[in-house]
Structure 1
């Protein structure tokens, strides 16, 4: 959970909206999420956080491999909505939302670790956010989990502080 934005997965309906937004779970025929599904997804978030915070990349690999192995997904090359060829991770139709997310998260973490390295797993630099992210930027200099929110808040605060400092009368 980001302390700056609060919990967004507050109930099964919010989880259903998240899954639909990302074309997962109920969006392709699975049953609507339940309270138990929400609890499993929130527990998965904690597992993922532990992997992002791990100091040892071997620990990340073991944990991410464990996430992927939960449902033994298969990869396949298919056309996306725009007609371009894309790799897809296919999970069984009876797969729970948490297990589908685990497979996707695990695969993503393994790919990021292999391609970018473990030093790209970072905490957000905002003092009011406890978010974590994988820096996929080309230069590898990203500082915020959500630059448009966390980074913008700091930039606005800095701007206001500078403006307030220049508006003070001399000698005060």
Structure 2
């Protein structure tokens, strides 16, 4: 796996989405309940994970817990140290390679035959370091929904994202506000 330094949004999105698969966040329970669910998650995020097994699932769930700790860390130096440790799990490089358009780009690779969780750790760690460098630690946030325990990394251009899963948490709040405005007895 080759991870571009300037494509930090991919790794940060993976970290956000992985953390928010937890039953702590999802009312429906564990999203990654079995290796098939993990395979589907990886496919949705463009990660070739082959056919993950039970051991892979356990290691990814452990990584998910570690990522949550990192996203909740309030000290940016601790965040950088922890994200660097993720990259060190199986990262090699950096190395300079040409991209598909022939431009030179910096990449971090993963060691051959690295376990799935370690490859994901390198991808997420590189993304978190990129966000920390380019956008700042203030982009690591808790979901604004009072009924959600989610955390996320805001990689939006404007930096105004408020919800871990806008289509879920943001929509819940919008529906609740709409119902409150339309309730009988409201002046």
Bucket of the pairwise TM-score, normalised by the shorter protein = 0.7 to 0.9
Match of 1:56 among 75, 78, 82: 75
Report the TM-score when normalising by structure 2.
0.77
> Which residue of 2 is the match for residue 23 of structure 1?
46
Contact in 1 for aligned 2:42/2:48 (Cα 8 Å)? yes
* Distance in structure 2 (CA, Å) of the matches to 1:20 and 1:3: 20
Report the TM-score when normalising by structure 1.
0.83
> Which residue of 1 is the match for residue 17 of structure 2?
none
Contact in 2 for aligned 1:25/1:96 (Cα 8 Å)? no
Task: Give the number of aligned pairs.
Answer: 161
* Distance in structure 2 (CA, Å) of the matches to 1:124 and 1:156: 17
> Which residue of 2 is the match for residue 168 of structure 1?
185
| CA distances 1:112-162 after superposition (whole Å, capped 9, x unpaired) | 001111111100011221111111222222110111111011000110011
Distance 1:147 1:92, change over 3 A: same
Q: Structure 1: any 5+ residue segments left out of the alignment?
A: none
1:37 equivalent to 2:60? Answer no
Aligned-residue CA RMSD (Å): 2.2
Q: Which has the higher relative contact order, 1 or 2, with Cα contacts under 8 A spaced 6 or more apart?
A: 2
* Distance in structure 1 (CA, Å) of the matches to 2:179 and 2:38: 37
1:106 equivalent to 2:129? Answer no
1:6 equivalent to 2:6? Answer no
**Secondary structure in 2 aligned to 1:149?**
helix
Contact in 2 for aligned 1:25/1:100 (Cα 8 Å)? no
> Which residue of 2 is the match for residue 129 of structure 1?
148
* Distance in structure 2 (CA, Å) of the matches to 1:52 and 1:90: 23
**Secondary structure in 2 aligned to 1:3?**
coil
* Distance in structure 2 (CA, Å) of the matches to 1:156 and 1:169: 16
1:90 equivalent to 2:109? Answer yes
Q: Offset of 1:56 from its aligned partner?
A: 0.8
* Distance in structure 2 (CA, Å) of the matches to 1:87 and 1:127: 40
Bigger radius of gyration among the two: 1
| CA distances 1:76-100 after superposition (whole Å, capped 9, x unpaired) | 4432xxx686765432341111001
